[in-house]
Homo-oligomer: A and B are copies of this chain.
Amino acid sequence: MTPPLHLSLAGQAVDVLREQVLTGKIPPGSRVNEVEVAQQLGISRGPLREAIRHLASERLLVLVPHRGAFVPDAGADDVRALFELRTALECAAAELAASRRTDVDLVRLREVCAESRRNYRAGQPFPYRLDLAFHQALLDAARSPHIAEQVRLVQQRVVLLRSGLEDDPSHQQASMEDHDELVRAVEDGDAARASAVMRRHLSRVCAQMLASLGR
């Protein structure tokens, strides 16, 4: 099975490496040794290099000439700067969603909110998965593939920054209420309000992350 069975070796390597980076299995600050990881994955250095460059293009790795690829470990400034970009993208998405959403989009959004609420009432910790699902549903409603793609990349970087941070239960309710209000604005087709709520929501999430980093 030397040739691409279903996905090229490079493509498979991208998936495996991304997983390992995002879950913190390869901790921030550490280096990715080409020969070592290549043997580990059972592939040659060529495809692995392509995978590394790909993840570098997603900013999940940083390349240093003649030194190799490193998992970036970010400070507070990076978090702030990254959330500036995320806010720009997701506020635009919220506006578009408010003006383009269909009934199916609303059903989906309400569904995610309902699941979050069930989860909350059951005393379960608010899984980050549900937060991602909500934002994804909003992006679907916005129907802007390019914006959606960029948001996906940014969220991925946020996940990387979050690796090693535990969910803070105290902010679950606030996030849920933000989501609910966002859905109402989108329902009303109120683009300006949707944008404003999203901005406040992300500002809150950013502040929480900064607080978690500080500890």
Contact = CB atoms under 8 A, between A and B. Distances in A.
Interface of A: 4, 8, 46, 49-50, 53-54, 57-58, 65-66, 81-82, 84-85, 87-89, 91-93, 96, 144-147, 150
Contact of A146 (B49, B53, B84, B147): B84
Contacts of A57: 53-54, 57-58
Nearest to A149: B85
Contact of A49 (B4, B50, B81, B144): B50
Given A53-B53, A54-B57, A87-B92, A82 B146 contact: yes
**Interface secondary structure of A, over-half rule:** helix
A97 to B, nearest CB: 12
The 10 closest A-B pairs by CB, nearest first: A88-B92, A57-B57, A85-B146, A84-B144, A81-B146, A85-B147, A88-B88, A88-B89, A53-B53, A50-B53
Copy number in the complex reads 2
Contacts of A66: 4
14 contacts: A8-B65, A46-B46, A50-B50, A50-B53, A53-B53, A82-B146, A84-B92, A84-B96, A84-B144, A85-B147, A87-B92, A88-B93, A88-B147, A91-B92
Contacts of A93: 88
